[in-house]
């Protein structure tokens, strides 16, 4: 039987999101949802889509892993010389999306981007497995390379260089923080009449608004 993409759909019935269930602080709600995602989702509940834009206005989207959040914003780490790193440094605005299918939930975040402190980047870098720390030195992220063999040769050279010492954090590698201006919580509901609560920062205060699905 031929697959009909147009007929692929899911009716969401798991939960709802009412104003009475939503705290005034969006970070409190995100913390609750994230904890529930950790308990329920089968793979990488901290996975997120990150959108940036280049000098020509072309959007770019990729999947990353969230590595921390608090009232200051949402933190991830990368190579600052990668395509996304250069885009975020030149145009420090970004959008993020978390999708938790088992919970039938989505969170969208929009805001400005800043680099985290060297101290924060150092702490996270040195918490990583050795292979990941060596990988940060090995990969010229987003650059064209001749093949897998070239990458493996670079890794062998890095392993030899740091055979007797711990690799330091590369100066071109560290964290970004997305400082949100908008956080939207989406809960799937039947018949596509989903719940959408948007928190919008206005003069330093979070305003909560319901959006039509």
Catalytic sites, residue numbers? 192
Phi, then psi, of 56 in degrees rounded to 5:
-90, 0
d(CA 212, CA 189): 12
Q: Is the Cα torsion angle 108, 91, 115, 80 positive or negative in sign?
A: positive
* 47/81 Cα distance (integer angstroms): 22
- CB of 104 within 8 A of CB of 12? yes
CA distances from 75 to 14, 68, 177 (A): 29, 5, 4
């Amino acid at each position: 039987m031929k697959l009909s993409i147009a007929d692929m759909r899911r009716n969401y019935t798991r939960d709802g999101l009412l104003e009475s269930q939503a705290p005034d602080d969006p970070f409190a709600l995100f913390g609750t949802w994230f904890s529930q995602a950790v308990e329920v989702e089968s793979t990488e509940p901290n996975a997120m889509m990150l959108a940036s834009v280049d000098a020509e206005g072309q959007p770019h989207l990729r999947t990353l892993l969230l590595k921390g959040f608090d009232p200051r914003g949402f933190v991830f780490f990368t190579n600052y010389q990668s395509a996304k790193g250069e885009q975020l440094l030149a145009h420090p605005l970004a959008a993020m999306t978390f999708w938790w299918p088992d919970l039938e939930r989505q969170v969208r975040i929009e805001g400005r981007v800043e680099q985290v402190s060297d101290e924060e980047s150092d702490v996270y870098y040195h918490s990583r497995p050795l292979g990941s720390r060596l990988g940060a030195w090995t990969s010229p992220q987003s650059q064209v390379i001749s093949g897998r063999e070239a990458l493996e040769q670079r890794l062998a050279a890095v392993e030899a260089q740091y055979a007797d010492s711990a690799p330091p954090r590369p100066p071109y590698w560290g964290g970004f923080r997305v400082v949100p201006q908008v956080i939207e919580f989406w809960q799937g509901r039947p018949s596509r009449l989903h719940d959408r609560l948007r928190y919008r920062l206005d003069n330093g205060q979070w305003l909560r608004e319901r959006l039509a699905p």
